[in-house]
A and B are shown apart, each in its own frame.
Chain A
């Protein structure tokens, strides 16, 4: 197998797919990326057996073939090289690989392409044509609140619910929750729920290309097909908890504030909160919001007053500043609305202006205040 390529071109594509490669695996072959050359088309494949990515790029090919290349070694080499032309030459008989630049020669040992696992094929029962910008928006607004608790596997992924006239994207870690309802998406045949692992979502957001893309899925797998890249992931086959039941309906205390002003105030005040709890306190009176924090262990406190619109009774409520910062950073409207009921019940946060056909709801659980 032999081809010639610019080092930065190869590196650009490898960066996108190398995120799949497990750093330590019980199957050492997975620490490789499969290179396959067919005429002038080079296809690269990486998999961790749960998620597989494949990408193709144009090269000047001179000898077809296929070989598994150690991912870390080749990435490290490309990173260390200046932009240069590389002749990639692999002897598929003994798995010896030679990368030749104008001044250098780098020899590495690959593994037989025969030993590399195949990308799972699945029969897709649903297909959806969707804009990259929508995929990006869904991922960026939800993935931060996906759980990392492996004991609750369903919550370690993003729930997509397909209903008659809408699609819902839901993520929660048990402390906060995001639900977005889309009503302008193309219809699909089955009304079903799927849970996509967060690792797959993070990889897509790094690799996404602009334009229209196909998303196809079955009950076990999902596949995102972009122009030069595909990602196939196993779905999390668990039942998602009943999230609707925890979204309060009777939150009657409404606070309206400028998102940017609020976010920067929360960031500043939180610098003075306890390093372990990150607790800040919202104290609300008529048209007046005071944000406070104190660090009992190391001393220091901060408070800020913010102009807002609030007309319900006085209330104090504690929050983990990190959760609030996450939520406020992922809302793209100029103003936000908080809906509270009491200091021990979930608070709902919504953007004031939303895109047409997109309904965003975020929710955060408070922290118990000691005093």
Chain B
């Protein structure tokens, strides 16, 4: 049987943080706004409105520099708990709409509509417009959706039509679609690689397509193989692997590669909080913690450790941090980090009441879960060790 045509949609919320701030304060609409730290605190922009981007401002730019570019710039400190809460709500809503949903980051998600063509009158691109409208009507958030045969291409395409765009790259037209676009759109081509390629006459994706995978590997090393495939329109078409009940995991790809350990540890803790909550909601404990790292050269490192079965955030986060310590040398910045729990146990084995703290901890974790369920997951955090 020939395999089904894959339909993966990539939904990207347009300058998400700014959009949320505009719901809270409509006077910000139509003005150049960034969400980020203040200039005198050496802050950087976490997000910039399209009005601000016209001045050349982009996320991760120091606020001081952004202010120089646009003196009328409005700086909002931001409500990060609120962003997570809304992102969660949107994710839950999309789970009602699409058969498989995967969160790519706080403001991006991938949805797999493979096999649903008939359900939507063979007009999936048309259905994307309906989804866009649902997001705007119910959440007051503008978004862009790319639909293609894989998640990588869907994301590239969505980036081309932002904001408030819809795009469909038909099957078989992937290469053709990418050919005239600038090479910087390919995920994995960072500033250095871009400069390196431009110096060698690569400017459009078609320039990359003209070279064989082997030639690119000889120029760029292993990394060339990924770029070659992405440039020809190939990419991951399996999403939502974590729905497999044998493991619970979460990973995050960063907008900008990170090499600061403290920041990585903080992200590990956030990922851990989420997966442990899901573990507890099933009444499970996990006996193995796996840390996944992808460095800027696309090398993936995974390290696992077996532990006494637990569902305690602080224990899992501690193990994950230890794994980070032993597996990450800081030589290259990290573009993706993930934590996975496997080797589940039901909480059947009874414990001696030797440590009242452990009993108390279970009560604390349960209470935290209830609070999060009611008020959103960022209203409360468990202190790290």
The chain A residues found within 8 Å of chain B, CB to CB, are 147-149, 151-152, 155, 172, 174-175, 177, 241-243, 245-246, 276-277, 279, 318, 320, 344, 346, 363, 365-368, 370
B255 at interface, CB cutoff 8 A? no
The answer to whether A241 and B354 touch across the interface, beta carbons within 8 angstroms, is: yes
The answer to whether A148 and B308 touch across the interface, beta carbons within 8 angstroms, is: yes
Q: 30 A-B residue contacts at CB 8 Å?
A: A149-B308, A151-B318, A152-B355, A152-B358, A155-B354, A174-B351, A174-B352, A174-B355, A175-B351, A175-B352, A241-B354, A241-B355, A243-B354, A246-B353, A246-B354, A276-B343, A277-B345, A277-B346, A277-B349, A279-B348, A318-B348, A320-B349, A365-B349, A365-B350, A365-B351, A365-B352, A367-B348, A368-B348, A368-B350, A370-B348
Tell me which residues across on chain B come within 8 A of A279, comparing CB atoms. Answer: 348
The answer to whether A172 and B345 touch across the interface, beta carbons within 8 angstroms, is: no
The answer to whether B308 and A246 touch across the interface, beta carbons within 8 angstroms, is: no
The answer to whether B344 and A276 touch across the interface, beta carbons within 8 angstroms, is: yes
- Rounded to whole angstroms, the CA-CA distance of A66 and B382 in the bound complex is 52
Within the complex, the shortest CB–CB distance from B314 to chain A, in Å, comes to 8
Tell me which residues across on chain B come within 8 A of A242, comparing CB atoms. Answer: 354
The answer to whether B352 and A346 touch across the interface, beta carbons within 8 angstroms, is: yes
B365 at interface, CB cutoff 8 A? no
Tell me which residues across on chain A come within 8 A of B358, comparing CB atoms. Answer: 152, 174
Closest A residue to B345 by beta carbon equals A276
Tell me which residues across on chain B come within 8 A of A368, comparing CB atoms. Answer: 348, 350
- Rounded to whole angstroms, the CA-CA distance of A172 and B355 in the bound complex is 12
- Rounded to whole angstroms, the CA-CA distance of A241 and B351 in the bound complex is 14
User: 1/0 per position for B303-338, CB-CB distance to A under 8 A?
Assistant: 000001000000100100000000000000000000
Tell me which residues across on chain B come within 8 A of A366, comparing CB atoms. Answer: 350
Interface of B is mostly: mixed
Tell me which residues across on chain B come within 8 A of A174, comparing CB atoms. Answer: 351-352, 354-355, 358
Q: Other than the known A174-B351, A246-B352, A368-B350, what 6 A-B pairs have Cβ atoms closer than 8 Å? A: A147-B308, A148-B308, A276-B344, A276-B345, A276-B346, A366-B350
10 nearest CB pairs, A to B? A241-B354, A365-B350, A246-B352, A367-B348, A368-B348, A149-B308, A174-B351, A367-B349, A174-B352, A276-B345
- Rounded to whole angstroms, the CA-CA distance of A368 and B283 in the bound complex is 13
Tell me which residues across on chain A come within 8 A of B308, comparing CB atoms. Answer: 147-149
- Rounded to whole angstroms, the CA-CA distance of A149 and B306 in the bound complex is 11
- Rounded to whole angstroms, the CA-CA distance of A242 and B348 in the bound complex is 24
Closest A residue to B312 by beta carbon equals A151
The answer to whether B352 and A177 touch across the interface, beta carbons within 8 angstroms, is: yes
Within the complex, the shortest CB–CB distance from B301 to chain A, in Å, comes to 17
- Rounded to whole angstroms, the CA-CA distance of A177 and B354 in the bound complex is 11
Within the complex, the shortest CB–CB distance from A121 to chain B, in Å, comes to 32
- Rounded to whole angstroms, the CA-CA distance of A312 and B185 in the bound complex is 76
User: 1/0 per position for B275-306, CB-CB distance to A under 8 A?
Assistant: 00000000000000000000000000000000
Most buried by A among B318, B343, B345, B349: B349
Within the complex, the shortest CB–CB distance from A277 to chain B, in Å, comes to 6
Within the complex, the shortest CB–CB distance from A366 to chain B, in Å, comes to 6
Residues of chain B from 175 to 222 with CB closer than 8 A to chain A in the complex: none
Within the complex, the shortest CB–CB distance from A148 to chain B, in Å, comes to 7
Closest A residue to B318 by beta carbon equals A151
- Rounded to whole angstroms, the CA-CA distance of A366 and B351 in the bound complex is 8
- Rounded to whole angstroms, the CA-CA distance of A155 and B354 in the bound complex is 10
Tell me which residues across on chain B come within 8 A of A363, comparing CB atoms. Answer: 352
Within the complex, the shortest CB–CB distance from A179 to chain B, in Å, comes to 12
Tell me which residues across on chain A come within 8 A of B315, comparing CB atoms. Answer: 151
Within the complex, the shortest CB–CB distance from B348 to chain A, in Å, comes to 5
Closest B residue to A173 by beta carbon equals B308
Within the complex, the shortest CB–CB distance from A368 to chain B, in Å, comes to 5
Contact of B350 among A152, A367, A370 (CB under 8 A): A367
Within the complex, the shortest CB–CB distance from B312 to chain A, in Å, comes to 8
Closest A residue to B356 by beta carbon equals A241
Tell me which residues across on chain A come within 8 A of B345, comparing CB atoms. Answer: 276-277
Tell me which residues across on chain A come within 8 A of B348, comparing CB atoms. Answer: 277, 279, 318, 367-368, 370
- Rounded to whole angstroms, the CA-CA distance of A129 and B343 in the bound complex is 46
- Rounded to whole angstroms, the CA-CA distance of A346 and B358 in the bound complex is 18
Most buried by A among B345, B348, B358: B348
Tell me which residues across on chain A come within 8 A of B353, comparing CB atoms. Answer: 245-246
- Rounded to whole angstroms, the CA-CA distance of A246 and B345 in the bound complex is 24
Tell me which residues across on chain B come within 8 A of A346, comparing CB atoms. Answer: 352
Within the complex, the shortest CB–CB distance from B17 to chain A, in Å, comes to 37
Closest A residue to B315 by beta carbon equals A151
Tell me which residues across on chain B come within 8 A of A241, comparing CB atoms. Answer: 354-355
Closest B residue to A343 by beta carbon equals B350
Tell me which residues across on chain A come within 8 A of B346, comparing CB atoms. Answer: 276-277
The answer to whether B354 and A172 touch across the interface, beta carbons within 8 angstroms, is: yes
Tell me which residues across on chain B come within 8 A of A318, comparing CB atoms. Answer: 348
Closest A residue to B347 by beta carbon equals A368
Within the complex, the shortest CB–CB distance from B364 to chain A, in Å, comes to 15
- Rounded to whole angstroms, the CA-CA distance of A271 and B241 in the bound complex is 32
Tell me which residues across on chain B come within 8 A of A367, comparing CB atoms. Answer: 348-350
Within the complex, the shortest CB–CB distance from B42 to chain A, in Å, comes to 33
Within the complex, the shortest CB–CB distance from A62 to chain B, in Å, comes to 44
- Rounded to whole angstroms, the CA-CA distance of A147 and B351 in the bound complex is 13
- Rounded to whole angstroms, the CA-CA distance of A186 and B350 in the bound complex is 38
- Rounded to whole angstroms, the CA-CA distance of A367 and B345 in the bound complex is 12
Closest B residue to A320 by beta carbon equals B349
Closest A residue to B354 by beta carbon equals A241
Within the complex, the shortest CB–CB distance from B141 to chain A, in Å, comes to 42
- Rounded to whole angstroms, the CA-CA distance of A320 and B348 in the bound complex is 10
Tell me which residues across on chain B come within 8 A of A147, comparing CB atoms. Answer: 308
Tell me which residues across on chain A come within 8 A of B354, comparing CB atoms. Answer: 155, 172, 174, 241-243, 246
- Rounded to whole angstroms, the CA-CA distance of A265 and B354 in the bound complex is 31
Within the complex, the shortest CB–CB distance from A28 to chain B, in Å, comes to 16
- Rounded to whole angstroms, the CA-CA distance of A160 and B116 in the bound complex is 67
Within the complex, the shortest CB–CB distance from B43 to chain A, in Å, comes to 36
User: 1/0 per position for B159-184, CB-CB distance to A under 8 A?
Assistant: 00000000000000000000000000
- Rounded to whole angstroms, the CA-CA distance of A318 and B349 in the bound complex is 9
